[in-house]
Amino acid sequence: MLKKERYNSFSTCLLAREAKKRGIEVEKIFPNTGLSYLLLKNKNKIETIIGQRISSISYNAHFICKNKEMTRFFLRKNGIKTVGGKMFFKSELSRALEYLERIGYPVVIKPVDGTWGKNVFLNIRNKKEAIKKIKIIIKEKNKFLIEQQFKGKEYRILATREKLLGIIHRIPANIIGNGKHTIKELIQIKNQDKRRGEKHEKSLVKIKIDDEIKNNLREQKMSLETIPLKNQQIFLRKNSNLSTGGDSLDVTDEAHPYIKKLAPQVIASIPGLPYAGFDFLISDIKNNPQKVGYAIIEINDSPMLSMHHIPYQGKKRNVAKEIISLIFPENK
């Protein structure tokens, strides 16, 4: 069996394992590194996988998914709902502040092309806080987004242009009190879970104590030395990214039928995109989006697959099998 230690991304390893299982020849392009680049050969057909991006994805589709403002354009053009918002260049700070005053708070401020939840600031409630967060982003980026904050639970939906593959409810990094240990100790205990790694070499990521966690605890009138009550859930971050220590709960079977119909339409709205994961906000996955409302905030063309294979809670789903069948339909 292929060892996941040889890959920076466990998700790419899962794709390699599935291909090998089918008798498909798998070669790592840089064998002596952790780089997750694959060459796959089935009879006379050759395909590549870069991370989780497969050969059939077009460059334009990759560019559209990377640029959240362009993603929003194509989704809306196809009648799919997104959050309201606008892109600004770093030279347009005064225009951005005028826009903020027009739409009101709270808002989300984030990079146009960010990944892994880096510098995504939620629940911004005033001008002073907004300026501070914008300045953090434009130190590294030329553009930023201001979005209206949509109230709802966050789900990662994986789909192809033909069907839904899986739905994960992503929950921000958190701990559950036992009445004995401090928050710091509870984080250390949770990080001992063998499913958690430093980055994406496993299906979950260890919770790293940083200023964001300390600030969030301070807002809740707590610190790392606080001892939570038994069964008291303490949220350590505001964003729900698994890359910052969040939890993954499979809820695929609970989803409203309309969501299963909507998922392939989201993928098909981006020209040249064979499959992807997208972030979906709704009050509850069981509800009808047509009645309660929903919003899609971004699409990831190289989505984390391991969260579906080994969720923190819920049913395991072999989505790598579906992706390999997408690449090699003749070898199902």
> Which tens digit of pLDDT belongs to each residue from 245-268?
999 999 999 999 999 999 999 999
**Global pTM value:** 0.89
In a domain, 241, yes or no: yes
In a domain, 320, yes or no: no
Which residue bears the tokens 């060892």?
Answer: 3
Give the pLDDT band of residue 3 (cuts 50, 70, 90).
low
Residue-level pLDDT at 215: 93
In a domain, 96, yes or no: yes
DSSP SS3 for 204 = strand
As beta bridge partners, residue 123 has none
Torsion sign (Cα): 10, 15, 21, 23: negative
Per-residue tokens: 209:
């104590």
Q: Which amino acid is at 267?
A: I
Higher pLDDT, 233 or 197: 233
Say how far apart CA 132 and CA 95 lie, in whole Å: 16
Q: Are residues 143 and 183 in the same domain?
A: no
CATH for 107: 3.30.1490.20
DSSP SS3 for 279 = strand
In a domain, 299, yes or no: no
Residue-level pLDDT at 117: 67
Which candidate, 239, 191, 183, 245, places its Cα nearest to that of 214? 183
Residue 330: how many other CB atoms lie within 10 Å? 8
Residue-level pLDDT at 331: 80
Domain ranges, residue 100? 84-149
Question: C-alpha dihedral over 278, 290, 251, 61, to 10 degrees?
Answer: -10
Label the pairing between strands 121-124 and 143-148: unpaired
Per-residue tokens: 49:
């996988």
Mean pLDDT for 6-21 is 91
pLDDT(52) > 90 = yes
Residue-level pLDDT at 112: 87
Residue-level pLDDT at 5: 58
DSSP state of 221: T
In a domain, 42, yes or no: no
Q: Are residues 180 and 135 in the same domain?
A: no
Q: Which amino acid is at 40?
A: L
In a domain, 115, yes or no: yes
**Rg (Cα) of the chain, in Å, rounded?**
20
pLDDT(31) > 90 = no
Give the pLDDT band of residue 2 (cuts 50, 70, 90).
low
The upper half-sphere exposure of residue 44, i.e. CA atoms within 13 Å in the direction of its Cβ, equals 0
CA 167 to mean position of chain CA atoms:
12
Mean pLDDT for 173-190 is 97
Q: Which residues contact 26 (CB under 8 A, 6 or more apart)?
A: 2, 16, 19, 20, 38, 39, 40
Sheet of 275-282, strand order: 247-250, 164-171, 153-160, 275-282, 295-300
Residue at which a domain ends, from 228, 245, 262: 245
Number of domains present in the structure of the chain: 2
Residue-level pLDDT at 116: 67
Under 8 Å between Cβ of 207 and 191: yes
Give the pLDDT band of residue 201 (cuts 50, 70, 90).
confident
Residue-level pLDDT at 123: 83
Q: Are residues 180 and 239 in the same domain?
A: yes
In a domain, 130, yes or no: yes
End-to-end CA distance of the chain: 20
The per-residue pLDDT of the chain, averaged, comes to 93
Give the pLDDT band of residue 210 (cuts 50, 70, 90).
very high
